Amino acid sequence: MNAIENAFPPVAFVKARLFREPIYREDTEDWLVLRGHYDEIRRTFREIGQELVFDEAEGYAFIRQLEFEGEERVPRLVQRRPLSYAATLLLVALREEFLRFDAAPGDSTRLVKSRDQLRDLIADFFNETTNQVRDFGRLDAAIKALVDLGFIRPLNATSGQDAFEVMRIVKARLGPTDLETIKERILRHAQPGT
C-alpha cells in the first residue's frame, strides 16, 4: 500500500484538495507545493473549465468555474446551488465586516467572530418568532453552510464559546460589484409589496 501512496507526487494531493476546499498560507506544506507548481496546476484546472485563483498577498487559493460570454461551451464540474437566504445574508455581512476590519487600524490580521456575533450580524433581518430554538437553528445552518464552503473556519474554543475565523477568501468570492447586486436584491426582498 505504501508503494502506491508514494507513486503520487505532492502536487497531485494539492490538486485533489483544491477540488474540495481552498488552500491557505497557513497550510504550509500544500501552500509551498502550490507556489512551486503554480503553472502546472493552473493549466490542469483550465483544461477542465476551472480558474485557479491564487492571491499571494491575502494568502489563499481556490478554483472557480470559468464563465465566458457568448456561445463558447465550458466543461462544468458541479451544479450551481444557491445559498439559502440566511447564508447569503451572513456572507454579505461578513464581507461588510471585512471592509470595516481592513479600514480600522490594528495589529490583528485575522477577523474572528463568536457564534453569537455571527448570529447578531443577521438576526435583525429575520422576523422574531416564539420559537427561539428554530430561529437559532436557521442561523446556525447558515454558519455551517459557510464553514462547509470554507468562508469561515472554526477555532478551538478556549473560553467555552464557539469562535470562527472569517477567511479572506470572502473578499475574493464576493467582490464589490457582486456585493452591491446582492445587497440590492436583499433590500428589494425586505421591502413589503415587492
In the chain, what are the domain boundaries? 2-65, 85-190
Amino acid identity at 84: S
Does residue 30 surpass a pLDDT of 50? Answer: yes
Q: Identify the top-confidence range among 1-5, 30-34, 60-64, 78-82.
A: 30-34
Q: What is the dihedral of CA 67, 72, 78, 79, to 10 degrees?
A: 90
Nine cell digits for residue 101: 476590519
- Using DSSP bridges, classify how beta strands 23-24 and 50-55 pair: parallel, antiparallel or unpaired: unpaired
pTM for the model stands at 0.70
Nearest Cα residue to 126 out of 99, 95, 93: 93
pLDDT band at 61 (very low <50, low <70, confident <90, very high): very high
Provide the percentage of residues in the chain whose pLDDT is more than 70: 80
pLDDT band at 38 (very low <50, low <70, confident <90, very high): very high
Burial class of residue 165 in the structure, from the number of CB atoms within 10 Å of its CB (0-12 exposed, 13-18 middle, 19+ buried): middle
* pLDDT for the residue numbered 192: 53
Alpha helices in the chain (DSSP H): 2-6, 10-20, 28-36, 38-47, 85-103, 115-123, 132-148, 169-173, 176-190
Does residue 158 surpass a pLDDT of 80? Answer: no
Poorest-pLDDT segment among 37-41, 145-149, 167-171, 185-189: 185-189
- CATH number, span 2-65: 1.10.10
166 in Cβ contact with 159 (< 8 Å): no
- In this chain, the answer to whether the domains covering 2-65 and 85-190 adopt an identical fold is yes
Average pLDDT, the chain: 82
Give the span between the Cα atoms of 182 and 54, in whole angstroms: 24
* pLDDT for the residue numbered 194: 46
Q: Mean pLDDT throughout 95-117?
A: 85
Work out the number of other CB atoms within 10 angstroms of the CB of residue 100: 9
Does residue 39 surpass a pLDDT of 90? Answer: yes
Q: Identify the top-confidence range among 40-49, 116-125, 171-180.
A: 40-49
Q: Mean pLDDT throughout 150-177?
A: 78
Nine cell digits for residue 55: 492571491
- CATH number, span 85-190: 1.10.10
